[in-house]
Amino acid sequence: MSAVYQDLLARTRAAVREVDAARARDLLEQEGAVALDVREQDEVDQGVVPGAVHIPRGFLEMRVEDALPNRDRTVVVYCAGGTRSAFAAKALQDLGYADVVSLAGGFNGWKGAGLPWEQPRSLTPDQRRRYSRHLLIPEVGEEGQRKLLDARVLLVGAGGLGSPAALYLAAAGVGTLGVIDADAVDDSNLQRQVIHTTERVGMPKVESARLTIEALNPDVTVVGHEVRLSKENALELFAPYDIVVDGTDNFATRYLINDACVLLNKPNIHGSIFRFEGQATVFSANGGPCYRCLFPSPPPPELAPSCAEAGVLGLLPGTVGLIQATEVVKLILGIGEPLVGRLLLYDALATEFRTLRLRRDAACPICGPGAPASLDDIEYTDVACAIPALAATA
């Protein structure tokens, strides 16, 4: 090592406070203190101080203010042996961090002292490349990507709404996608159900969706449920999932999904489409309303046209399904403001979005007091297609 470097290192060490592993452990037990790991990813993969924030030394100045916005926190910086952390600690002081120490002896010294460490569950190199645009966003990052990979999302319907939602949830790396659909691909579906293809006409939609998703992202496990959702199977089907996406087009199933989600306390990501108008909201999450808070019972059949009669612009479910998928990802990551207690209305002809406030009904028959504990005594009669009833009444 050159004399110039030795001199720089000596001056840097003199300018920062260095502590041994035992002292570092004591500091980290204080309220608000944080360990900052400035090593490279392949070193971090071998083990870390529990709870440490990781920013490689080369990105420190660029990323630390996002990761540690409070400059008054005690920061214990460590690398492998204590040299990079000394330079990093100096940089943090220069950025205005008031209480920074460098761990002398680094992670090796920490481990050697018998202090606790853990093996991080990290992404594979393939996954780091695939999700690199997520890893660059502080609100997602590696931790968020792992949450997505661990998440289990159930799509009810692999149709107009379920197709775009499934494609983008799969691309984003949501690790388990359940798909409930009892139908086969029909050529009249292909105008909007973009997960299917012409050559798969006649194939079960669940199977077609699986082929597309597996070709897109091998990280995703597709669980196909080629059944018609009923009150006999709904609770059992929903139970293994974190979030349910309602991509159905009939009232009976919509009420059934709502009631099952309320009983199981799972968020229900609602979307509906009609000609040029779409709607989306998040039901039964964060104490917000459910579908029956707005409409305690289905409309009479004569007011509900069938989907075949109603028609829909093929592009519309793309927009609405992706709003649903975005809400799913926000809930998994715990970021942003979910569409709870708000109904988003989209008018494709005017290109206008509006939001209406929705309130929970204290006397709601399913999420209010005295609500049934099972689906056994609830009647679900099929009254055909969804109409924009919410818009008319809200």
Instruction: Please give the order of strands across the beta sheet that includes 74-78.
Output: 17-19, 99-103, 74-78, 34-37, 53-54
- Would you tell me how many other CB atoms lie within 10 Å of the CB of residue 385? 20
CB of 368 to Zn ion, least distance (A): 6
- Counting residues that bind Zn ion (by CB under 5 A) gives 5
CA distance 317 to 138: 30
Q: Is 307 a catalytic residue?
A: yes
For Zn ion, the binding residue among 91, 172, 290, 328 (CB under 5 A) is 290
CB of 370 to Zn ion, least distance (A): 12
292 binds Zn ion (CB under 5 A): yes
Number of helices (H) and strands (E), helices first, in the chain? 17, 13
CB of 293 to Zn ion, least distance (A): 3
CB of 360 to Zn ion, least distance (A): 6
For Zn ion, the binding residue among 100, 165, 213, 293 (CB under 5 A) is 293
Per-residue burial over 336-367, b if 16 or more Cβ lie within 10 Å, else e, is: eebbbbbbbbbebeeeeeeeeebebbeebbbb
The 236-275 contact track toward Zn ion, x by CB under 5 A, reads ----------------------------------------
Q: Which residue's CB is nearer to Zn ion, number 294 or number 322?
A: 294
- Would you tell me how many other CB atoms lie within 10 Å of the CB of residue 51? 10
CA distance 142 to 63: 14
Residue recorded with tokens 């449920």: 225
Q: Which residue's CB is nearer to Zn ion, number 259 or number 277?
A: 259
The 343-382 contact track toward Zn ion, x by CB under 5 A, reads ---------------------x--x---------------
Q: Which residue's CB is nearer to Zn ion, number 1 or number 373?
A: 373
CB of 339 to Zn ion, least distance (A): 16
Catalytic residue among 79, 307, 364, 367: 307
- Would you tell me how many other CB atoms lie within 10 Å of the CB of residue 324? 28
- Would you tell me how many other CB atoms lie within 10 Å of the CB of residue 255? 23
CA distance 11 to 8: 5
Residues between 196 and 235 with contacts to Zn ion, criterion CB under 5 A: none
Q: Which residue's CB is nearer to Zn ion, number 77 or number 358?
A: 358
Residue positions annotated with a catalytic role:
307
Q: Which residues bind Zn ion (CB under 5 A)?
A: 290, 292-293, 364, 367
